[in-house]
């Protein structure tokens, strides 16, 4: 996926429907190039092409491949990663999940010293391995290539052998009536296992997650110690977290 694909996806996601001619004007590229880009996005299940344009596949709530997630909402995730890195101190033991936001966080840790980290993210482990004085562990289990992660019963059993000062995880949705939810049952189970064996759970969630609900419930509000986002929290979600004693962190707060 190239940056133009990510830009097209964000435009379609915001507008719900966009014509080929409109995309051509916004991107300063030919309509034939736009059509080829739409074919790529459709093959990955992210949009549906229509006569003269494309619509966003929001209703299906598909699991995006990690290569698309990495570039979507990049500025939001970078702001979150900058804030999250301040919660990690030298010599700590940390759990970190396979999400695209946690991948960015992993890059922010290169200036830390003597960390011990456990992750179920294949690409996250690769990033962390660039640090020469980190102790890095990666779970065993079933490999999910679309999201570059490892899960299943074996992954959860492996996590249970360790304890951590803090666990950093993301999610697919946060809603006032349903709490924290995810697209996939296995991803949800791995995150709950992290919660069980850590002193503090820190949830990283950009503003696109607010008001979204997916099938698998991962955490109720009291189970989350800290939430870090890129902007102010919606009033109803903010109230539920505050009632549970959860600390809310966003730029300027």
Mean pLDDT of residues grouped by 10 in the chain (253 residues)?
82 84 90 90 78 71 50 80 96 96 95 96 93 94 88 96 98 95 92 98 94 92 97 96 97 73
Cβ-based neighbour number of residue 186 at 10 Å? 21
CATH number at residue 94: 3.40.50.1360
- Asked if 36 and 152 sit in the same domain, the reply is no
**Do the beta carbons of residue 184 and residue 155 sit within 8 Å?**
no
- Asked if 73 and 139 sit in the same domain, the reply is yes
In the chain, how many domains are there? 2
CATH number at residue 46: 1.10.10.10
- Asked if 76 and 56 sit in the same domain, the reply is no
State if pTM tops 0.85.
Answer: no
- Asked if 55 and 72 sit in the same domain, the reply is no
User: What pLDDT shows up at residue 50?
Assistant: 84
- Asked if 9 and 97 sit in the same domain, the reply is no
- Asked if 42 and 145 sit in the same domain, the reply is no
* Residue-number span of the structural domain to which 160 is assigned: 68-249
Pairwise CA distance, residues 61 & 52, whole Å = 23
- Asked if 136 and 154 sit in the same domain, the reply is yes
CA 234 and chain centroid, separation: 19
């Amino acid at each position: 996926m190239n940056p133009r694909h990510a830009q097209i996806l964000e435009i379609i996601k915001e507008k719900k429907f966009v014509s080929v001619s409109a995309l051509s004007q916004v991107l300063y590229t030919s309509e034939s190039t736009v059509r080829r880009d739409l074919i790529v996005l459709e093959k990955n299940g992210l949009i549906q092409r229509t006569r003269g344009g494309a619509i966003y596949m929001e209703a299906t709530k598909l699991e995006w491949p990690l290569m698309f997630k990495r570039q979507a909402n990049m500025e939001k995730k970078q702001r979150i990663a900058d804030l999250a890195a301040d919660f990690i101190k030298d010599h700590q033991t940390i759990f970190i999940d396979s999400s695209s936001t946690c991948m960015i966080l992993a890059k922010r840790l290169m200036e830390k010293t003597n960390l011990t980290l456990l992750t179920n993210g294949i690409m996250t482990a690769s990033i962390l391995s660039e640090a020469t004085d980190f102790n890095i562990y990666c779970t065993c289990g079933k490999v999910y290539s679309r999201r570059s992660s490892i899960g299943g019963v074996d992954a959860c059993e492996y996590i249970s052998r360790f304890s951590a000062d803090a666990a950093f995880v993301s999610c697919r949705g946060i809603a006032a009536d349903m709490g924290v939810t995810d697209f996939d049952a296995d991803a949800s189970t791995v995150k709950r296992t992290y919660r069980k064996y850590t002193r503090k759970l820190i949830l990283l969630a950009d503003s696109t997650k607010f008001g979204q609900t997916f099938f698998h419930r991962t955490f109720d509000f009291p189970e989350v110690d800290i939430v870090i986002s890129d902007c102010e929290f919606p009033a109803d979600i903010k109230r539920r977290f505050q009632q549970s004693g959860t600390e809310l962190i966003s730029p300027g707060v």
